[in-house]
């Protein structure tokens, strides 16, 4: 827990000075978690599709349907990513919000534009959204690998579709 808190504190450098970044992080995390929850419906679709490979014979034994082919993975996994556009697109809004922060209450943009270094202003606007975009992509990639693993574990080799 302490480590997570320390890591979150380090993220402060990616935001404009004094920005309420914890709230924004919480919103982004919530959106990603919501997208993951919706995406997990793939497991239900996989279960459904795998169930369709089997039937109960006259002795009530579970048998594989002869010459049956499982639905291809890419078709099954389609639609698992539809809610990930929410955290992804929201990063664009966050970047704009970071820039607008320099015009809120005061004109701290005057200070940022006078800094001798070129990077602080764009970094404070874009670093966190790009990080969150990267995190969203990473979560999607991990989920995709997990779903692929589940697919190959659940589907009998003889039912796998040809490439």
Residues that bind other proteins (CB under 8 A): 16-20, 104-111, 113-118, 120
Q: Report, in Å, the least distance between residue 49 CB and other proteins.
A: 52
CA distance 87 to 135: 10
**Shortest Å, Cβ 110 to other proteins:** 4
DSSP state of 119: S
In the complex, least distance from residue 25 CB atom to other proteins, rounded to whole angstroms? 16
Residue (2 or 114) nearer to other proteins, CB: 114
Q: Which is nearer to other proteins, 58 or 106 (CB)?
A: 106
Shortest separation between residue 19's beta carbon and other proteins, angstroms: 7
Nearer to other proteins, 112 or 130 (CB): 112
Residue 72 or residue 120: which is nearer to other proteins going by CB?
Answer: 120
Q: Cα 144 from chain centroid?
A: 10
Which burial class, exposed, middle or buried, applies to 126 when counting CB atoms under 10 A from its CB (0-12, 13-18, 19+)?
A: middle
The DSSP bridge pattern shows strands 54-56 and 62-64 to be antiparallel
Cα–Cα distance measured from residue 148 to residue 142, given in angstroms and rounded to the nearest whole number = 10
Phi, psi of 52 (to 5 degrees): -70, -10
**Shortest Å distance, C-beta 125 to other proteins:** 14
- Considering beta carbons, is residue 17 or 149 the nearer one to other proteins? 17
Nearest residue to 162 via CA among 54, 53, 67, 80: 67
């Amino acid at each position: 827990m302490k480590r997570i808190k320390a890591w979150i504190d380090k993220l402060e450098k990616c935001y404009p000075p004094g920005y309420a970044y914890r709230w924004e992080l919480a919103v982004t995390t919530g959106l990603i978690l919501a997208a993951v929850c919706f995406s997990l419906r793939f497991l239900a679709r996989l279960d459904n599709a795998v169930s369709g490979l089997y039937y109960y014979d006259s002795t009530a034994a579970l048998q594989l349907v002869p010459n049956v082919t499982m639905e291809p993975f890419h078709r099954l996994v389609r639609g698992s990513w539809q809610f990930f556009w929410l955290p992804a697109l929201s990063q664009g809004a966050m970047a704009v919000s970071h820039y607008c922060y320099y015009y809120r209450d005061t004109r701290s943009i005057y200070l940022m534009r006078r800094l001798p270094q070129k990077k602080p202003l764009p970094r404070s606007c874009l670093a966190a959204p790009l990080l969150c975009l990267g995190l969203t992509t990473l979560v999607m990639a991990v989920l995709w690998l997990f779903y692929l693993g589940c697919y190959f574990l659940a589907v009998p080799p003889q039912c796998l579709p040809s490439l």
